[in-house]
Structure 1
Amino acid sequence: MAFTAKIKEINNVKEFKEYYLQNSDYSYCAECNHLEYAHGNGFLEIIALEDLQKLHSRHVGHQARRKFYSIILLTAGNVEEVIGHQKYHFGPQSMYFIPENQIHSIESWSEDVQGFLCMFDADYFLLCIKHQITLNQFPFFQLDKVPYVDLSERETGMMQHLFWKLNSEKCQKKTFNDDLLVRMFLNIILLEAERIHNHTTLAEPFNLSRKEQLVAQFQLLVNQHFLEKKQVKEYAGMLNVHPHYLNDVVKEVSGFSASYFIQKQLIQEAKSRLMQTNDTVSMIATELNFTDDSYFGRFFKKMTGLTPLHYRRKHKHQ
């Protein structure tokens, strides 16, 4: 029978807690000092899988779309989940990844499951370090790559330690500057996972539907050409499809319009340059190929609620 229930949209950690844990005030760590993030600074949260397993059973089989990224390290037990339209079975010594805006459902978790779930959004990752790669360049967050890695015993031990350090630094931080270590451990986890992913040889090719292939190709082209191509029709031409068809397929697969992904890439690049360089707003507008500073300013404020200068003052690296 086809699944017809409405997909639950989960925008942030508060909504995750309300949906999976029945309590938005649930604390992932009793020792944490509950340092709150300022608006727009992004978020990162970590929870033990054994704690989550006790609380989420009523949502087995329900589809959700998280507006943030998830990394799961599984050290014991077995889980079955649907990521996109593919069903996966994961056992001990594995890591799997749920990209932003991807449809996801939990099919089953064994009672002995152990490990970590780390959730974070793109704005938080943007604060990690200067000149880093973007999240959508990691292969396990790309639609046409497998969203998991199998780990050796040594790699599992290494990842356990990194997740423990990530959580420990998060719990111990007392100022926002202390958050730098947390961000760096997140970055290390992603880079180590990428290294393992790139050295994994697949026994069989990863199969996508035609529509998923089209969306994956579109997202890759946006990553490569967003600076000079800002119209959906330009990407439709490169993919030899009608703009309306491209938009409909992207909307069906991702839940967002094709123009959303172009604008999102531009905004992430603009945020990165505002925080990580000393370029003037005018210089950044020119580098991003906006026709004038005022148009760039209006676009940025529409997308973020802040002017470029206000955003820089709030978030720029010290």
Structure 2
Amino acid sequence: MREKTKTIPIKIMDDAFNTGVVIGKIALKDLNQFKAAAESHRDNYHLFFLQEKGTTSIEIDFHTYTIKPTAVIYIHPNQVHRMLAIKNTTVSVWAVKTETLNREYLALLEDITPTKPLSLKKEAFSIISETVSLCIKLSERNHEKLYQSPLKDSCNTLVALVVSQYLAQSKSVDKLSRFEFITKSFKSLLEANFCTVKKPTDYAQTLNISTAYLNECVKKATGYSVSHHIQQRVVLEAKRMLYHSNKSVKEIATQLGYEDYAYFSRLFKKITVVTPSAFRSKNHD
């Protein structure tokens, strides 16, 4: 059975030189060489993997992904993840703190979350791989007076290269319809406020539009209502805490903004078809 902690563990960046960046390339035969990554956790940084050789299996928010060469994946700090398997893998890994990221790139990362592994064409892999190599070389020059700035700038360039690959598969902002633009704005607000704001009316007021129009936009863009998205986001967070922590259902309900524990339990069952307690029992290892 999975050992549980009171809260979901958060891995803290080992940033000895206070750059807000850690980058390197590792070669691993199997998961035994990287046992710490096998435990479910969140990070206090944005995490990127560039798969160069071998195969990596990773679980992110209850979804399992197999990453093969040549591919990249981005993991947001909110996402709970763990390594499931590693087979003769060579992978470049870089972690970047939020405050180190260019604001424009940070906003784009929020937009593309959650991501799936993205296969890279030869040219894209080559330029990203070369940029990784440059960043690694810069990270090793910590004896230089201006060490921090070049490293931060080059890693932001690396992040931009990865984000651009994801964006190439989605619509650019200037091509979004009015419905899609409003839906994008709503989802951004939802991510920041789902624990405290539960009413579609409140989101509509923040966006300076009517509740009916917000619902129309979101439903046309996604096929689902505003309430559906609010409930799904709350339930995802509840699943994370039920699965990865030993907080009681009542504690989880309170943390997610529900003083009425019974109402929260009914909502969870409505969305998942099982009670919170049943979900926890079913998913114990």
TM range (shorter): 0.5 to 0.7
Distance 2:112 2:168 in 1: 16
Q: Does residue 1:252 correspond to 2:238, yes or no?
A: yes
SS at match of 1:200: coil
1:85 is matched with which residue?
A: 62
Counterpart residue type for residue 79 of structure 2: Q
1:72-116 CA distance string (max 9 Å, x none): 011110111111121111111100111102110111110x21121
Indicate conservation of the 8 Å contact 2:31/2:86, yes or no.
Answer: no
Determine the C-alpha separation between the residues in 1 that align with 2:137 and 2:118.
24
Contact kept? 1:43, 1:121, Cα under 8 Å: yes
The AA in structure 2 aligned to 1:98 is: I
Give aligned pairs, total.
208
CA contact (8 A) 1:71 1:98 kept: yes
Quick check: 2:61–2:81 contact (8 Å CA) kept in 1?
yes
- Give TM-score, length-normalised by structure 1: 0.53
Q: Larger relative contact order (C-alpha < 8 A, sep ≥ 6)?
A: 2
Q: Distance in 1 between matches of 2:97 and 2:48?
A: 11
| Distance verdict in 2 for CA 1:235–1:191, change over 3 Å | farther
Tell me the residue number matched to 1:117: 93
The residue type paired with residue 11 of structure 1 is K
Residue 240 of structure 1: aligned partner = 227
Question: Please, which runs of 5 or more residues in structure 1 have no aligned partner?
Answer: 15-33, 202-215, 260-318
**Where does residue 64 of structure 1 map in the other structure?**
41
Partners of 2:97 and 2:149 in 1: CA distance: 16
Partner of 1:49: 26
Aligned equivalents of 1:58, 1:231: Cα separation in 2: 36
Q: For structure 2, which runs of at least 5 residues remain unmatched after alignment?
A: 171-183, 204-225, 242-251, 258-285
Q: Deviations over 1:265-311 (max 9, x none)?
A: xxxxxxxxxxxxxxxxxxxxxxxxxxxxxxxxxxxxxxxxxxxxxxx
Q: Could you tell me how far 1:12 is from its partner in structure 2? A: 0.9
Equivalent position amino acid for 1:13 in 2? M
CA distance in structure 1 between the aligned counterparts of 2:16 and 2:13, rounded to whole angstroms: 14
| Percentage of pairs with the same residue | 10
- Aligned-pair CA distance for 1:183: 1.4
Query: 1:236/1:70 Cα in 2 relative to 1: closer, same or farther (>3 Å)?
Result: farther
Q: Which residue of 2 aligns with 1:169?
A: 138
Alpha carbons of 1:124 and 1:253: their partners in 2 closer, same or farther (altered >3 Å)?
farther
Q: Distance in 1 between matches of 2:77 and 2:190?
A: 16
The 5 A counterparts of 1:145-164 are 146-164=115-133
- What residue is the counterpart of 1:185 in the other structure? 154
Q: Is it true that 1:142 corresponds to 2:113 in the alignment? A: yes
Q: Does 1:221 align with 2:208?
A: no
Deviations 1:222-244 (A, max 9, x none): 57x98xxx962566744437x9x
Given candidates 55, 73, 76, the residue that maps to 1:99 is 76
Following superposition, the deviation at residue 44 of structure 1 comes to 1.3
Residue 235 of structure 2 aligns to which amino acid in structure 1? V
Counterpart of 1:232, as a letter, is V
1:10 to partner: Cα distance: 2.6
DSSP-derived class of the 1:167 partner: helix
Alignment check: 8 A CA contact 2:61 2:79 kept: yes
Instruction: Say whether the 8 Å CA contact 2:17–2:142 is kept in structure 1.
Output: no
CA distance in 1, matches of 2:93, 2:53: 13
- Kindly report the root-mean-square deviation, in angstroms, between the aligned alpha carbons of the 2 structures: 3.9
Once residues 198 and 108 of structure 1 are traced to their aligned partners in structure 2, the CA distance between those partners, rounded to angstroms, is: 28
The aligned amino acid for 2:164 is: R
Distance of 2:111 and 2:40 partners within structure 1: 20
Question: Cα gap change, 1:88/1:231 in structure 2, threshold over 3 Å: closer, same or farther?
Answer: closer
1:58 offset after TM fit, Å?
3.3
Q: Are 1:140 and 1:194, in contact at CA under 8 Å, matched by a contact in 2? A: no
Amino acid paired to 1:137: L
Structure 1: distance between partners of 2:119 and 2:233: 35
Contact 1:136–1:142, Cα closer than 8 Å, also in 2: no
Evaluate the alpha carbon distance shift between residue 251 and residue 89 of structure 1 in structure 2; reply closer, same or farther with a 3 A threshold. Answer: closer
